[in-house]
């Protein structure tokens, strides 16, 4: 008897305590993790007391989204490659750190550095081995990265990485009170890393040779090539950079919950949603869109129903597509770039 052969298993409701709050499994993991881990009940307190926590956790959520979205957007903005394997690399980083910590007993710092390096290298290799051969054929590029991402994620699922023991450690346990709101160190750390990353990117793209090459290619590929900037190397490096950033994001964000394979698909979803809203090629766009979506989600979750947090993405995408399809800061270059 066949039953439904296409139930992929990715929709099974998760039997976590989270469900008691949400009533359903939602994709906004960090916020749920916060609710679960600290047992705070925002919806119980009065609305006035919630304002500082909304402000703070809105920021936390925004940084969270930005960390996820930047890697994808950078790769796309520099080389035009939409790295659909992004979610795969994210989860791969998480599992790699876990394996290094638990199987090889690496110290934490070493595990992190090795993972970021390895994943960056994998991104580079992915371009060089696969994408290079199909560069210029949009169909093949899209399918290749998409298949890679799905392959990575489903391989892990098949290998059995699906139980609850897969967690990454915090950097430092404990929390601190800010304006009467408890914030744990991990989240402060996340904000710090996010800011540091943005600053690093700014200096990198404005002051180093490789970074300037990135910007050159992003602005005008032909001219850049004629100036001696190697387009393929730059594209491969952009993929490496994007993947490495997904690693950083994974290492900082995954400790807030467990490493779940479905998060891989959601991360891609988030990166894409933020990118669509903000404009895929624009870093300021991503940052602004992260703030908007981050706060919109927290406000929805706090003042309305928590389940609706995910719907914010859908609403935002539909809105942006209807009004300004290329995104808030996106350049509507659709025709001009062709002549």
Partner 1 sequence: MQDKTFLRVEGLTKNFGGVAAIVRVSFSLQEGELLGVIGPNGSGKTTLVNLLTGFVRPDSGKVIYRGRDITGKMPYKIAELGIARTFQMVKPFYQLSAFKNLIIPLYSSRVKKLRGGKYGDRDDVAIDLLEDVGFERDSFVPYKVASSLPHGYLKRLELARCMALRPDLLILDELFSGMSMSEVASTLPIIEKLNAEGLTIIMVEHRLKELFRIAHRVIALNFGAKIADGPPREMMESEAVKAAYLGSEEEE
Partner 2 sequence: MKFRKERLDRGIKARCEDIFAVSSYKEISYLLFPRALPVVLLLILPLMKGVIGLYWEKVLMITCIIALLALSWDLMASVGLISLGQALFFGAGAYITGFLNYTFKLPPILTIPLGTLGGALFSTLLLLPVLRLRGVYFAIVTLTMPLLLSRFIETTKILGGTEGMSALSPLPNIWVELYVPVLALLICLFGFRRLINEDYGLVLQGIRDNDRAVMSGAINIYWFKAQAVFIAGVAGAFAGAFMTHYYRFVGMPAFAMDYSILPLTAAVLGGVGTFAGPTIGAFILMPLSESLRAVGTLRVVFYSAILIICVVGLPEGIFHYLRRKYHQFERMVDIG
Q: Between residues 115 and 145, which has the closer beta carbon with respect to partner 2?
A: 145
Q: Which is nearer to partner 2, 81 or 112 (CB)?
A: 81
Asked if residues 129 and 102 have their Cβ atoms less than 8 Å apart, the reply is: no
Q: How many residues bind partner 2 (CB under 8 A)?
A: 62
Q: Which two tokens stand for residue 159?
A: 């290998």
If the CB atoms of residues 177 and 322 are measured against partner 2, the closer one turns out to be 322
- Residues 6+ away with beta carbon under 8 Å from 79: 217, 231, 234, 235, 238, 239
Q: Does 24 bind partner 2 (CB under 8 A)?
A: yes
Gap between the Cα atoms of 141 and 126, Å rounded: 11
Nearest to 260 by CA among 168, 123, 324: 168
Check residue 36 for interaction with partner 2 (CB under 8 A). no
Residue whose CB is less far from partner 2, 196 or 321: 321
Give the residue with the Cβ less far from partner 2, 144 or 245.
144
Binding positions for partner 1, rule: CB under 8 A: 219, 335-336, 338-339
| CA 67 to chain CA centroid, nearest Å | 6
Which residue stretch of 43-51, 184-192, 240-248, 262-270 sits at the interface with partner 2 (rule: CB under 8 A)? 262-270
Classify strands 181-184 and 175-178 as parallel, antiparallel or unpaired: antiparallel
Q: Which of 84, 89, 98, 127 binds partner 2 (CB under 8 A)?
A: 84
- Burial grade of 27 (CB within 10 A; 0-12, 13-18, 19 or more): middle
Q: How far apart are CA 275 and CA 250, in angstroms?
A: 18
State the Cα–Cα distance between residues 307 and 28, nearest whole angstrom. Answer: 10
Residue 92 or residue 116: which is nearer to partner 2 going by CB?
92
Note the helical H segments in the chain: 18-22, 29-38, 47-79, 86-102, 108-125, 132-134, 138-159, 185-207, 209-219, 221-226, 231-253, 261-278, 283-303, 309-323
Binding-site partner at residue 223 among partner 2, partner 1, none, CB < 5 to 8 Å by type? none
**Rounded least distance, CB 323 to partner 1, Å:** 18
Q: How far is the CB of 126 from partner 2 (least distance, A)?
A: 10
Q: Is 225 one of the binding residues for partner 2 (CB under 8 A)?
A: no
Stretch that binds partner 2, among 177-185, 217-225, 231-239, 315-323 (CB under 8 A): 315-323
Q: Which does 265 bind (CB under 5 to 8 A by kind): partner 2, partner 1, none?
A: partner 2
Least distance in angstroms from the C-beta of 302 to partner 2: 16
Q: Which two tokens stand for residue 107?
A: 């110290």
Which range of residues in 90-98, 142-150, 239-247, 288-296 is near partner 2 by CB under 8 A?
A: 142-150
Q: Which is nearer to partner 1, 246 or 326 (CB)?
A: 326
Helix (H, G, I), strand (E, B) or coil at 241: helix
94 binds, among partner 1, partner 2, none (CB under 5 to 8 A by kind): none
């Amino acid at each position: 008897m066949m039953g439904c052969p296409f139930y992929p298993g990715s929709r099974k409701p998760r039997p976590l305590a989270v469900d008691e709050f949400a009533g359903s499994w939602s994709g906004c993991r960090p916020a749920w993790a916060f609710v679960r881990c600290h047992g705070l009940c925002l919806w119980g307190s009065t609305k006035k007391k919630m304002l500082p926590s909304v402000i703070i956790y809105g920021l936390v959520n925004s940084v969270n989204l930005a960390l996820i979205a930047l890697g994808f957007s950078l790769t796309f903005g520099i080389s035009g490659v939409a790295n659909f394997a992004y979610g795969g690399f994210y989860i791969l980083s998480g599992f790699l750190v876990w394996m290094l910590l638990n199987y090889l007993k690496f110290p934490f710092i070493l595990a992190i550095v090795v993972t970021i390096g390895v994943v960056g290298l994998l991104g580079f290799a992915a371009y060089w081995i696969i994408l290079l051969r199909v560069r210029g054929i949009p169909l093949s590029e899209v399918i290749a990265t998409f298949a890679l991402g799905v392959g990575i994620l489903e391989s892990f699922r098949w290998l059995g990485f699906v139980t609850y023991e897969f967690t990454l450690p915090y950097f430092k346990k404990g929390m601190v009170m800010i304006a009467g709101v408890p914030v744990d160190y991990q989240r402060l750390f996340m904000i710090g890393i996010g800011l540091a990353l943005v600053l690093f990117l700014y200096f990198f793209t404005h002051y180093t040779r490789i970074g300037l090459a990135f910007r050159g290619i992003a602005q005008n590929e032909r001219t850049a090539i004629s100036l001696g900037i190697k387009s393929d190397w730059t594209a491969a490096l952009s993929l490496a950079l994007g993947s490495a950033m997904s690693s950083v994001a994974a290492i900082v964000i995954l400790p807030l919950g467990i490493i779940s394979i479905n998060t891989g698909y959601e991360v891609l979803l988030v990166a894409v949603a933020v990118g669509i809203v903000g404009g895929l090629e624009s870093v300021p766009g991503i940052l602004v869109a992260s703030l908007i979506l981050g706060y919109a989600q927290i406000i929805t979750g706090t003042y309305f129903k928590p389940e609706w947090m995910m719907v914010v993405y859908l609403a935002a995408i539909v809105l942006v597509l209807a009004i300004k399809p290329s995104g808030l800061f996106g350049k509507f270059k659709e025709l001009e770039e062709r002549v």
